Chain A
Amino acid sequence: EAGVAQSPRYKIIEKRQSVAFWCNPISGHATLYWYQQILGQGPKLLIQFQNNGVVDDSQLPKDRFSAERLKGVDSTLKIQPAKLEDSAVYLCASSLNPSSNEQFFGPGTRLTVL
């Protein structure tokens, strides 16, 4: 079974630039999550999708972050414009459904904002 795929693996940009990350969850998984993991900290949930609808985006900085999952499969997370404090690893995870209580994580995208 293929795991959660993410790209790119690494990205370096300058502040005020835009960046987008892509995630393809495990086939059949209805629930998709985006996490931000700052160095030395645990992952923090940014947004949760159930199929193509948003379940929870309470911790997403909506003035600069956006995410979509238009067809209920893969997802894109965008930052526009980026700030220095956005430097982090962005993790995508998926689960079969919200009550399955097990999430499968992708390898992450390491973003460096200069």
Chain B
Amino acid sequence: GDSVTQMEGPVTLSEEAFLTINCTYTATGYPSLFWYVQYPGEGLQLLLKATKADDKGSNKGFEATYRKETTSFHLEKGSVQVSDSAVYFCALSVYTGNQFYFGTGTSLTVIP
């Protein structure tokens, strides 16, 4: 079935460090891929998305490239800030019914 496997956390980085959070997926069709972010006490917010192979999603300095050959959608940021501390969820959506499958989330803490 369709699923997402996400790098386990928690991850702790110093400010301005490079961030990578790994995400791989299994899908029977051609999914769209997403990264959602959840700040403490808030709901999930869409961070970025990619709808087809080789697409790159980007937002707020974060990037992720849809790699069909490795079934991956790794999240990267060149220089993290304290305000990036949150839980990050990788997700996929299959066209039929638009059901979302989420990874387990990766908690990121950025220290000054």
- Which residues of A are in contact with B by a Cβ distance under 8 Å? 4, 6, 31, 33, 40-45, 48, 55-56, 91, 93, 95, 98-108
Contacts and interface: CB of A to CB of B under 8 A. Distances in A.
A99 B51 CA distance: 12
Contacts of B45: 105
Nearest to A106: B43
Interface of B: 4, 6, 32, 36, 41-46, 49, 51, 89, 91, 93, 95, 97-100, 102-105
Contacts of B102: 42-44
A40 B38 CA distance: 12
B99 A43 contact: no
Contact of A40 (B4, B89, B91, B104): B104
A78 to B, nearest CB: 20
B38 to A, nearest CB: 9
B32 A101 contact: yes
Contact of B104 (A4, A6, A42, A104): A42
Contact of A56 (B51, B89, B99): B99
Nearest to B89: A42
B44 A101 contact: no
Contacts of B4: 42
A5 B6 CA distance: 29
A26 B49 CA distance: 20
A55 B51 contact: no
A95 B43 contact: no
Which residue, of A48, A95, A102, A108, has the highest number of chain B Cβ atoms within 10 A?
A: A102
A48 B98 CA distance: 9
Contacts of A41: 104-105
